[in-house]
Amino acid sequence: MIDYLIIGGGIAGLSVAAELARAGTSVCLLEAETALGYHASGRSAAMFLASYGNATVRALNAASAETHEAADVLSKRGFLMVADAEREAQFELEHAEFGAEAISPEDAAHVWPILDTAYCTRAAWLEAAYDLDTDRLLQHYTRSARHLGAEIRTGHPVTGIRKLDTGWQVSTPGDVVEARRLVNAAGAWADTVARMAGIAPIGIRALRRSMAKLPAPDGLDTRSWPFVIEVAEDWYGKPDGGAWLVSPGDEDLVEPQDAWADDMVIAEGLARYQPFATVEVTRVETTWAGLRSFASDRSLVLGPDPAMPDFLWCAGQGGYGFQTAPAAARLLADLATGRPPELAPDLIATLRPDRLRR
């Protein structure tokens, strides 16, 4: 019998596998798909913005920054917020929350050359925004976990979970694994896994986020363009391999699934984007979607279930999974193995699963 069985092979499960293996425990990770990072982790906007998220998420971002730098997964991008005349009051609130400095639309057009300064009335700039190399971080944790002795099995969907006196028995097609403790890192399927284990769900909601890949506007070189977001996240855009990505910023509630982009949602998002850009959108190269899984308070859920302490939650990453992974994984390993956590007690309290069942 192994010490820990992790269900889920995205950035959450892989980072936890590495941290638990580093603590000297035996670890096995099961991923239903044949590839790691297939769902939300493979469809991320891939940014590190320390001021993104609520206060709990921002604290985890800050605690993760050193690891991201050491893993060499960050590169400077810059962050530009824009607003039209109808959103100026909201702009005043949101740009300050992000720590972005108000600039003129004309100055904003220097960093984003296709900005329509006749339509955009307010803009703000934040230098400290970075691309996050998600593939590299996934590989970093996968290599670390395997080097430290963790076993990673892809193509192993969980078909059954049974409680034993000594821990858990998890079935997959043609295989059975027994472990003293179970880690639920199943993303949008976290509540599904909990129900299979006889654990009360905590209300994880799967919200679809879509993306459209456009040709480089007017054939311009987009490589130095910033991450651009409309106030209230009604759309955002960023460079990608010489092309230009635009997301509608959608959060449509769906059942856990292999997500796909809805053409109408994409069209509505591009319609919100278009007035800010001087170059007309005439073609979409491809579209895709992923699921962002949130708890009701939009903070992560980390730690043992109050009703069953050998069942540990690592869920609710939302759109912050890569940003927060290093600190979240260390905390879960601390809580699981009894090490003194590095994070403050009041922060840990905002992440506990039992906060959602009071």
Read out DSSP for 29-50?
A: EE-SSSSTT-SGGGG---EE-T
> What confidence score (pLDDT) does residue 39 get?
84
Residue 325 contacts residue 11 (beta carbons within 8 Å): yes
> What confidence score (pLDDT) does residue 162 get?
97
At the fourth CATH level, which superfamily is domain 79-127+205-294? D-Amino Acid Oxidase, subunit A, domain 2 (3.30.9.10)
List every span in the chain annotated with CATH 3.50.50.60: 2-59+133-203+297-357
pLDDT below 50 — which residues of the chain? none
User: What are the C-alpha distances in Å from 270 to residues 1, 69, 209, 284, 331?
Assistant: 52, 34, 14, 10, 39
Coil, strand or helix at 112? coil
> What confidence score (pLDDT) does residue 358 get?
61
Q: Identify residue 180 by its one-letter amino acid code.
A: R
Q: CA 91, CA 88: separation in Å to the nearest integer?
A: 5
List every span in the chain annotated with CATH 3.30.9.10: 79-127+205-294
pTM: 0.95
Q: Which of 246, 226, 267, 290 is nearest to 40 (CA)?
A: 290
Q: CA 38, CA 14: separation in Å to the nearest integer?
A: 12
Q: CA 83, CA 46: separation in Å to the nearest integer?
A: 23
> What confidence score (pLDDT) does residue 132 get?
96
Q: Answer positive or negative: Cα dihedral of 201, 61, 74, 251.
A: positive
The 8-class DSSP code of residue 216 comes to P
* 122 dihedral zone (left: phi>0; alpha: psi -120 to 50; beta): beta
User: Regarding the domain delimited by 2-59+133-203+297-357, which CATH topology (the fold level of the hierarchy) does it fall under?
Assistant: FAD/NAD(P)-binding domain (3.50.50)
> What confidence score (pLDDT) does residue 247 get?
97
